[in-house]
Amino acid sequence: MVAHSTTQCRVAACVVFITFVLGSCAVKKGSAVDLRQELKVTWAPINVRFEDGGEALQLVLENTTGGAGFASKNYYLLGNIDMQIKLVPGDSAGTVTAYYMSSETSNHDELDFEFLGNSSGEPYVLQTNVFSNGVGEREQRILLWFDPTTDFHTYSIRWSEERILFLVDGTPIRVFSNNKDVGVPYLDSQPMRVFSSIWNGDSWATRGGLVKIDWSQGPFIASYRAFKTLDSACAATSSAACAAQITSTDGIRGGPAAQRLDSAKLDWVKRNFMVYDYCTDEKRYPAPPPECSQQL
């Protein structure tokens, strides 16, 4: 990680270009979705608050329960997933807000957004990770180029047979391509549910665990709305039903058309906001994992 003064300068230097390169960051409220129909509470019901007739939801972290969480009722295999999130404001050091998809199997597939809390006034760090057939440790970290605590922003997964895109407000921040041809398992056979949680990660989340949660600043609240599944190849209430839905389509694995990748925007994010990439970590990987030479 880079020093705090450096990260702040990098963000400030890049903000002037955002209007031209990325457009507006904040998003308007999407069409109304009753989250009570789409999601179920998985952790600390007392700290999961449905609001606005179910159109909004809050996850609350305080020091008695240690966190809270929810999951989608449906499983998905391929497709497009959106969620609007407003992150914990103020001094959120030590907190982790996780938004991810997982297959819940022994050799599981998983796609992670992890928002790492910070001391007031410092940039939020977004860590992404990919597990395929149980193999993970593919972390990348970027600094968000806006304050994600003052308004809702859309965090998306675009998942086709060709590639998986991670996007923030429509801007690609990461791509994980189908590299079966070089021996890398791809995420195209295990249905996954959508999960989110907020929890105490102060053993590692902020400056490598040097900054702990200040519980006097709590409760820590992450807010959600406008959960959408667009062009999903399957959506079923069980993993088996979802897999059967895919494999029953005359041998064609369904799924959305391959997503167009805006490589210019992805390169812009990498150049200006990436602070860690497992592919360039020579201490962990003296020989880069095989997919690293294939990724854009």
Cα atoms in the 13 Å half-sphere on the side-chain side of 278 = 18
Cross-strand bridge partners of residue 198: 68, 97
Selecting among 51, 55, 110, 122, the annotated active-site residue is 110
Burial class (CB in 10 A: 0-12, 13-18, 19+), 176: buried
Q: Are 235 and 227 in contact (CB under 8 A)?
A: no
Indicate if 110 belongs to the active site. yes
State phi, psi for 29 to the nearest 5 degrees.
Answer: -65, 130
Indicate if 104 belongs to the active site. no
What is the distance between the alpha carbons of residues 205 and 115, in angstroms, rounded to a whole number? 9
Residue in 1, 167, 190 with CA at minimum distance from that of residue 78: 190
Selecting among 38, 51, 114, 139, the annotated active-site residue is 114
Distance linking the first and last C-alpha atoms of the chain: 22
Strand order in the sheet with 67-72: 39-43, 67-72, 193-200, 95-102, 110-116, 125-131, 140-143, 274-277
What is the distance between the alpha carbons of residues 130 and 137, in angstroms, rounded to a whole number? 7
Tell me the catalytic residues: 110, 114
